[in-house]
């Protein structure tokens, strides 16, 4: 089933995300965490692609295995940064061979190593080129892309960023998932602006439950997200106590999700980061709201 069909049919649902191990990492441990999250019956799950493309094989294996075992769709991430035409063609062929029909098409994070390489040698500079390539390889694919309510950190301003987002939609992107944010008003504002710019595809807000103080620093540095005072106070109070921070982080994320649902947003993606307890906490807190009414 296509993710866009789920977004159309379900009334209030959440999806979860896992990331694959690094090459020499713990594959079985990630599979166990993925299965525990899958048992919670999310609307779909997504599997990230390692920065620089290092874990592509694991992404596809986890996506393929989970979809076959649990029957709900899995969204496999795919990045194009540093890919050659040939390596990307092989990745697309492998996704098709495995029957993966939902792909989140990204440029990819720029690792320090990638930053040092000569960009003029890259076959792809932006996600739009990957989206166009996927669309021409298979018109039936469901293709997602990333968007940034607080503007992508490399973008000179929001207007420019939204202009390029429109190009992604026009290249054949069926839906977008947002970068994390901790203040819903930034998301509502962004939605208004992209609709004004003529972007009509569904947008799924991405919510990150913060479970420890160090994670906040990393997450905020990567995404440039604004931290509202209410959120900062919570991290100051509980950030050094992992159990207390997990509870407080789940409560804050749940509060954000309920506000989104109450304001007409029906689907939320949760950056569950291979943590079944976090996924279970969110699912439990929303149990009388999500999963109802399939049209
Ligand atoms: P793009 O859409 O290419 O945008 C990158 C920048 O280029 C933006 O500033 C944009 O405005 C600008 N731009 C776009 N087109 C043009 C153009 N034609 N000319 C000039 N500028 C242009 N990273 C991973 O490595 N693996 C993952 O699995 C992964 N999953 C993610 C999931 C989500 C939901 C999100 C929000 C991010 C994810 N990322 C992942 C991080 C992502 O790869 C980075 O944020 C990356 O820096 C940008 O990726 P993009 O696809 O948005 O790039």
What pLDDT score was predicted for residue 223? 80
Specify the higher pLDDT residue, 64 or 25.
Answer: 64
Q: What is the mean pLDDT of residues 146-164?
A: 97
**Ligand 1 mutation pick, 106, 128, 151, 179, max ligand atoms within 8 A of CB:** 106
User: Which single residue is written with the structure tokens 């972007």?
Assistant: 199
In a domain, 293, yes or no: no
In a domain, 67, yes or no: yes
Q: What is the mean pLDDT of residues 38-59?
A: 87
Q: What is the mean pLDDT of residues 70-75?
A: 96
pLDDT tier at 52 (50, 70, 90 boundaries)? Answer: low
CA 259, 250, 253: angle at the middle one, nearest 5? 30
CA–CA distance from 126 to each of 15, 28, 107, 119 (Å)? 26, 33, 5, 11
Kindly tell me if the per-residue pLDDT of 295 is higher than 60.
no
CA–CA gap between residue 113 and residue 179 (Å, rounded):
23
Does the predicted model carry a pTM greater than 0.85? yes
Total number of domains constituting the chain: 1
In a domain, 30, yes or no: yes
**Ligand 1 mutation pick, 146, 197, 221, max ligand atoms within 8 A of CB:** 146
For residue 278, the domain's CATH number is 3.20.20.220
- The answer, yes or no, to whether any atom of ligand 1 lies below 6 A from the CB of 155, is yes
In a domain, 291, yes or no: no
In a domain, 290, yes or no: no
Residue 2 · residue 102 · CB < 8 Å: yes
In a domain, 227, yes or no: yes
In a domain, 295, yes or no: no
What pLDDT score was predicted for residue 82? 80
Q: Residues 112-126: pLDDT tens digits?
A: 888 888 878 788 999
Catalytic residues, which ones? Answer: 17
Kindly tell me if the per-residue pLDDT of 275 is higher than 80.
yes
- The answer, yes or no, to whether any atom of ligand 1 lies below 6 A from the CB of 65, is no
Kindly tell me if the per-residue pLDDT of 54 is higher than 70.
no
Kindly tell me if the per-residue pLDDT of 74 is higher than 70.
yes
Ligand 1 atom closest to 59 (CA) = 28
Q: Considering only 105-109, 135-139, 212-216, 254-258, which range has the smallest mean pLDDT? A: 212-216
In a domain, 40, yes or no: yes
Ligand 1 atom closest to 126 (CA) = 3
DSSP annotation of 72 reads: S
Domain that includes residue 245, residue range: 3-285
Question: How confident is the prediction for the chain on average, in pLDDT?
Answer: 92
């Amino acid at each position: 089933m296509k993710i866009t069909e789920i977004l159309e049919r379900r009334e209030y649902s959440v999806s979860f995300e896992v990331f694959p191990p690094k090459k020499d990492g713990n594959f079985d441990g990630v599979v166990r965490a993925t299965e525990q999250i899958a048992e919670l019956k999310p609307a779909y799950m997504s599997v990230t692609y390692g920065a620089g493309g290092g874990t592509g094989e694991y992404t596809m294996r986890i996506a393929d295995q989970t979809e076959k075992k649990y029957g709900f769709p899995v969204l496999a991430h795919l990045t194009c940064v540093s890919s050659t035409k040939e390596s990307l063609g092989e990745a697309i062929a492998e996704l098709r061979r495995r029957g993966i029909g939902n792909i989140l098409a990204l440029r990819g994070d720029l690792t320090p190593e990638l930053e040092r390489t000569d960009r003029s040698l890259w076959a792809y500079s932006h996600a739009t080129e990957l989206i166009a390539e996927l669309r021409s390889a298979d018109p039936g694919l469901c293709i997602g892309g990333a968007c940034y309510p607080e503007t992508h950190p490399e973008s000179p301003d929001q207007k420019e960023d939204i202009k390029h987002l429109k190009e992604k939609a026009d290249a054949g992107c069926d839906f977008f998932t947002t970068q994390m944010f901790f203040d819903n008003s930034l998301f509502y504002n962004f939605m208004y602006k992209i609709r004004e710019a003529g972007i009509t595809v569904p947008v799924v807000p991405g919510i990150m439950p913060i479970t420890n103080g160090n994670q906040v620093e990393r997450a905020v540095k990567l995404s440039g997200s604004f931290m509202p005072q209410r959120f900062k106070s919570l991290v100051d109070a509980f950030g050094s106590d992992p159990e207390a921070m997990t509870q407080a982080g789940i409560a804050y994320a749940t509060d954000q999700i309920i506000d989104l649902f109450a304001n007409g947003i029906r689907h939320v993606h949760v950056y569950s980061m291979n943590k079944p307890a976090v996924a279970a906490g969110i699912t439990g807190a929303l149990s009388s709201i999500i999963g109802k009414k399939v049209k």
